[in-house]
Amino acid sequence: MTSKIAVLPGDGIGPEVTAEAVKVLERLKRDFGLKIELETAPVGGAAYDLHKQPLPEGTLRLAKQADAVLLGAVGGLQYDDLPRELRPERALLGLRSELKLFANLRPAILFPQLASASTLKPEIVAGLDLLIVRELTGDIYFGEPRGVRTLENGEREGFNTMRYAEHEVERVSRVAFDAARKRQRRVCSVEKANVLETSGLWREVVLRVAKDYPDVALNHMYVDNAAMQLVRAPKQFDVIVTGNIFGDILSDEAAMLTGSIGMLPSASLDRANKGMYEPIHGSAPDIAGKGIANPLATILSTAMMLRYTLNEPTLADQVDGAVSKVLDQGIRTGDIYTEGTKRVGTQQMGDAVVAAL
Ligand code: NAD
**Domain ranges for the chain:** 1-102+270-357, 108-263
Look at residue 280 and give its three-state secondary structure. Answer: coil
pLDDT at 298 exceeding the cut of 90: yes
Tell me which of 88-97, 118-127, 130-139, 192-201 is least confident: 118-127
Asked if residues 160 and 146 have their Cβ atoms less than 8 Å apart, the reply is: yes
Q: Which of 4, 100, 222, 248 is catalytic?
A: 248
Calpha distance 204→181 (Å, rounded): 21
Q: What is the dihedral of CA 311, 347, 75, 306, to 10 degrees?
A: 0
Distance 11 CA to ligand 1 centre (A): 10
Calpha distance 264→106 (Å, rounded): 8
Q: What is the pTM of this model?
A: 0.92
pLDDT at 115: 83
Closest ligand 1 atom to Cα of 335:
20
Gyration radius from the chain CA atoms: 20
Strand positions, DSSP E, 179-330: 186-191, 217-222, 239-242, 265-269, 275-279
Residue 341 backbone phi and psi in degrees, to 5: -100, 175
pLDDT at 259 exceeding the cut of 80: no
| Fold match between domain 1-102+270-357 and domain 108-263 | yes
Choosing from 69, 134, 261 the residue with most ligand 1 atoms within 8 A of its CB, the one to mutate for a pocket test is: 261
pLDDT in tens, 70-89: 999 999 999 999 998 899 99
**Which residues does ligand 1 sit against, CB inside 6 Å?**
13, 17, 73-76, 89, 92, 261-262, 278, 281-287, 293-294, 297, 335
Look at residue 356 and give its three-state secondary structure. Answer: helix
Closest ligand 1 atom to Cα of 89:
34
pLDDT at 257: 86
Residue 42 backbone phi and psi in degrees, to 5: -80, 150
pLDDT at 117 exceeding the cut of 80: no
Tell me which of 114-128, 190-204, 268-282, 338-352 is least confident: 114-128
- Which of 259 and 215 is assigned the larger pLDDT? 215
Look at residue 34 and give its three-state secondary structure. Answer: coil
DSSP output for 215-247:
TSEEEEEEHHHHHHHHHH-GGG-SEEEE-HHHH
pLDDT at 353 exceeding the cut of 80: yes
CATH 3.40.718.10 fits 1-102+270-357, yes or no: yes
Q: Which CATH class is domain 108-263?
A: alpha beta
